[in-house]
Amino acid sequence: PADLDAADAGGWTAVLGWIVGLAVVSAASFGVHELVHAVFFKLFAPAAARVTFGANLETCMIYACAEGVVYSRRRYMAVCLAPTVIVTAAFALGFTCLGYPLLCYLAAGLHLSGCVGDWYYVRTILRDRRIVACEDTSFGVRFFAR
């Protein structure tokens, strides 16, 4: 890949810089991921709703949530999937256009690995038609049946 070739031509410090850049971009993607969740939580919530951020040290996860707000199944699935679509598209457009396609693929892949929990919630909702609403909480999601 051209971006690694360019880093290699710059010597070991350039390659190390490329690897550090990947680590920084990947770590930042998880924060951006939660910001995208927060935007969609707020977008679909009543005006007075409050979105909070936190971290669960036991599971090594950061999160955004809107406790007390109950979303329809469709809106909650949109909240869950928004970071997958938006952050991955940003990687695809940004790094490819800047001439770093390998960085794009690796950072997108690492980000997508962090989306698995969101996909699991969507899978659960799609598999159980009784779920009509969801509330996101600091400890996970609460599903509501008919």
* 32-49: pLDDT as tens digits: 999 999 999 999 999 999
Domain spans in the chain, listed from the N-terminal domain onward:
2-145
Task: Return mean pLDDT, the chain.
Answer: 88
Per-residue confidence band for 19, with pLDDT thresholds at 50, 70 and 90: confident
The most confident of 8-12, 16-20, 63-67, by mean pLDDT? 63-67
Distance CA 125, CA 48 (A): 26
Distance CA 146, CA 84 (A): 28
The predicted model gives 1-30 an average pLDDT of 74
Helices (H), the chain: 2-9, 12-43, 73-97, 101-113, 116-127
